[in-house]
Amino acid sequence: MKTEMQAQFVEFFCLTGNATKSATMAGYSEKTAYVKGCQLKKQFAREIAEQTQQMIVDSIPGALSQLKNLAESAQSESVRLGAVKDILDRAGLKPVDRVEQTNIEAQSTDELRRELELLMGVEEIEAPGTLN
């Protein structure tokens, strides 16, 4: 069971990410804050991770609202475009990254075989019609 100071440490650590500062803010002595902060951070690592994750989840609606506001009413056209791209990206509509294509007709059969060997992690692939 956590004491009130420990609970405050967890809350402050989730907000600041600084163990020493969080220990001091929670009421621990400035002289022992560094050591105590490190101890508490390890002791309550699971609770810190859970609370941090919940804080992130709770902030999503506000962040989306701000993005929408920027997309609709920002003064700068580049800011509006960036906000629209972010919204589309988060909706799973990110444009396809540039795909490099290789002209396989320009490669010899031996070059293609070596490339296939590298991709498959095979020592050597036999040419068709050859015997072992």
Residue 59 lies in a domain: no
Residue 3 lies in a domain: yes
Do the Cβ atoms of 9 and 24 come closer than 8 Å?
A: no
CATH of the domain at 24: 1.10.10.1400
What is residue 123's predicted lDDT score, i.e. its pLDDT?
Answer: 66
Residue 37 lies in a domain: yes
Cα–Cα distance, 126 to 19 (Å, whole number): 61
3-class secondary structure, 108:
coil
Global pTM value: 0.59
Residue 92 lies in a domain: no
pLDDT digits (tens, 9 = 90+) for 8-27: 999 999 999 999 999 999 99
Do the Cβ atoms of 117 and 125 come closer than 8 Å?
A: yes
Residue 103 lies in a domain: no
Residue 132 lies in a domain: no
Residue 105 lies in a domain: no
Do the Cβ atoms of 63 and 54 come closer than 8 Å?
A: no
What is residue 128's predicted lDDT score, i.e. its pLDDT?
Answer: 60
| Number of domains forming the structure of the chain | 1
Q: For residue 125, is pLDDT > 70? A: no
Question: Which domain, by its residues, includes 12?
Answer: 1-43
pLDDT digits (tens, 9 = 90+) for 61-113: 999 999 999 999 999 999 999 999 898 888 888 776 666 666 666 778 888 78
